[in-house]
Chains A and B, each alone.
Chain A
Amino acid sequence: MENKVADASKSKVPLTVEDLWVEYKIERGVVKAVRGVSFELARGESLALIGESGCGKTTLGVALIRLLVKAARIPKGEITYWRGNQGVDVLSLKEKELRRFRWRECAMVFQSALNAFNPVLRIWDQILDTSKAHGGMPRAQVRERAMQLLEYVQLDPKRVIDAYPHELSGGMRQRVLLAMSLLLDPQVLILDEPTTALDILTQRTIIDLLRRLKEEIGFAMLFISHDLATAAELADRVATMYAGSIVELGPVADIFYRPAHPYTLGLIRAVPTVTGEFEKLISIPGAPPDLVDPPPGCKFHPRCPYATERCLTEEPKLEVHYGETHSVACFNVRRVQEDTHDLQERYERYMGGKTL
Chain B
Amino acid sequence: MSEGLQKPQYLIEARNLVRMFGARRERVTAVDGVSFGIREGEVVCLVGESGCGKTTTGKMIAGLLKPTAGQVLYTEKPVWTPRGDRGEDFKKFRLGVQIIHQDPYASLNPSHTIYQILSAPLLHHKFAANTREALDRVIELLTTVGLSPVEDFLYKYPHQLSGGQRQRVSVARALTVNPRFIVADEAVSMVDVSIRVGLLNMMADLKRELGVTYLFITHDLAVAKFFAWEGRIAVMYVGSIVEFASTPQLINDPLHPYSKALLAAVPEADPELTRSKQRVELRSQDIPSLLALPSGCRFHPRCPYFEPGLCDVERPELLPVGNNRQVACHIAAREAGAVS
A residues near B (Cβ < 8 Å) are 52-53, 169, 171, 199-205, 207, 226-233, 252-253, 256-257, 266-268, 270-276, 278, 281-285, 287-288, 303, 346, 349-350, 353
Contacts and interface: CB of A to CB of B under 8 A. Distances in A.
A267 B195 CA distance: 10
Given A199-B49, A346-B272, 19 more contacts: A199-B287, A200-B265, A201-B282, A203-B265, A204-B266, A229-B267, A229-B274, A232-B271, A232-B273, A256-B269, A256-B270, A270-B196, A274-B221, A274-B251, A275-B263, A281-B201, A283-B197, A284-B195, A284-B198
A264 to B, nearest CB: 11
B252 A276 contact: yes
19 contacts: A52-B192, A199-B219, A200-B49, A201-B285, A226-B192, A228-B193, A229-B269, A232-B267, A232-B269, A256-B269, A270-B196, A271-B269, A273-B273, A275-B251, A276-B252, A278-B248, A283-B198, A350-B271, A353-B272
A200 B261 CA distance: 9
B156 to A, nearest CB: 14
A53 B162 CA distance: 11
Contacts of B163: 53
Contacts of A272: 222-223, 225-226, 269
Nearest to A50: B193
Interface of B: 49-50, 162-165, 192-198, 200-201, 219, 221-223, 225-226, 229, 248, 251-252, 261-263, 265-277, 279, 282, 285-287
A273 B285 contact: no
B268 A273 contact: yes
A270 B197 contact: yes
A282 B194 CA distance: 9
Contact of A270 (B194, B282, B286): B194
Given A169-B287, A272-B223, A283-B198, A267 B251 contact: no
A278 B229 contact: yes
Contact of B50 (A199, A230, A256, A284): A199
Contact of A230 (B165, B196, B267): B267
Contacts of A205: 285
Contacts of B266: 200, 204, 229, 274
B194 A281 contact: no
Of B201, B267, B282, most buried by chain A (CB within 10 Å of CB) is B267
A268 to B, nearest CB: 7
A304 to B, nearest CB: 12
Contact of A287 (B164, B222, B282): B164
A288 B193 CA distance: 11
Contacts of A253: 271-272
A232 B265 contact: no
Nearest to B198: A283
Contacts of A203: 265, 267
Given A200-B262, A349-B272, A270 B287 contact: no
